[in-house]
Amino acid sequence: MKSNSFQGTKINPTRFHRSQLPFFLFLIPFSTLMLLPIIFIINHAFKPQSELFAYPPKFFVRRPTFDNFTELSRIVSASGVPFSRYLVNSLFVTILGVGLAILFTGFSAYALSKMKFKGKKFLFELNTLALMFVPIAVQIPRYLIIAQSGLIDTYWAHILPVIVMPVAMFLIKQFIDQTPNELIESAKIDGASEMEIFFKIIMPIIAPAIATVGILAFQAIWNDTTTSVLYINDESKRTLAFYMMSLTSAQGNTVAGQGMAAAAGLLMFIPNLVLFIVLQSKVMNTMAHSGIK
């Protein structure tokens, strides 16, 4: 009788169940609070001039308009370098940078987690130490390295600084640590090489961590303006983020400049939002759902 009472009951039902009500009452206010910045960005981009400088500021737009986007399009059309050039540059460095970041951090994390070699513990502690340094703290040595390597005015100046991310290395290593050593040993007995083990066994298991690293790397490269300012002198090799910033800053504190800045901010934010929506299921998955079964 006791066993029958539990039949048909799921720990996490796919449809709404009254047992979930306390969780909804707790989580909905917090999720609403986290959605407010996104709602504000969208509303702010469609505000007319009268609402952009209204006091007290209004959170929601009252009379939505496309004037900010129209003005941004007009300024873009009048610029010397085509808009498509900046867009292609951003897509190129972002796609290549994200791919290399996932590949190199994955290789490094696998070596630090499952391989045996002298100095492994020291290298991991060095990576952990690097977590405490914000990018601005290493700006000068990074510039010296890029300049002395001859990477000024090249696409590699956008890509190389982001390939190895200490936080990504730490995150992926923690996922790989949970992989049973017996699984890897059995693959080696079957004749699998280290590369085959990494791509066919480790990669499916660490899919949630890879998705998270992909989002972090995408945001770091897509929204980066510092590289185009410090390392790039050739206008044709600068990115869309720098172009949008230069357009809006060139207008100063005028009403048109504020409207264009709001529209440009929304356009730059949309790819980040879309990427997270696409990968959020992977990010939320645990190790139990990522390949061990």
* Domain range summary for the chain, segments of one domain joined by +: 36-65, 75-289
Q: What percent of the chain has pLDDT over 90?
A: 10
Mean pLDDT, rounded, for 149-177: 88
Who's near 143: CB < 8 A, 6+ residues apart?
230, 231
Answer yes or no: is pLDDT of 292 > 50. no
Place of tokens 């017996």: 182
Helix segments in the chain, DSSP class H: 2-5, 21-45, 49-52, 67-77, 83-114, 120-130, 139-148, 156-163, 166-177, 181-189, 194-197, 203-205, 207-222, 226-230, 240-250, 255-284
pLDDT > 60? residue 206: yes
Residues 210, 215, 217, 219, Cα dihedral to 10°: 180
User: Quick one: pLDDT at residue 20?
Assistant: 75
Q: Does residue 213 contact residue 103 with C-beta atoms inside 8 Å?
A: no
Range with lowest mean pLDDT among 20-24, 229-233, 274-278: 20-24
How far, in Å, CA of 213 to CA of 220, rounded? 10
Mean pLDDT confidence for 34-50: 86
Residue 123 class from Cβ within 10 Å (0-12 exposed, 13-18 middle, 19+ buried)? Answer: middle
Peptide bond just before 56 cis, omega within 30 deg: yes
The arithmetic mean of pLDDT across residues 2-30, rounded, is 64
Average pLDDT over residues 165-183: 86
Spatial separation of the C-alpha atoms in residues 239 and 246, rounded to whole Å: 11
180 contacts: CB under 8 Å, gap ≥ 6: 292
Token digits for 158? Answer: 């956008």
- Own/partner pairs for 72-78, CB < 8 Å, 24+ apart? 72/247, 72/260, 72/263, 72/264, 75/247, 75/251, 75/260, 76/247
Q: Which residues contact 115 (CB under 8 A, 6 or more apart)?
A: 194
138 vs 142: CA distance, rounded Å: 6
> May I ask the CATH class of domain 75-289?
mainly alpha
Determine the distance from the C-alpha atom of residue 283 to the mean position of all C-alpha atoms in its chain, rounded to a whole number: 12
3-class SS at 119?
Answer: coil
Arithmetic mean of pLDDT over the chain: 81
Residues 6+ apart with CB under 8 A from 40: 59
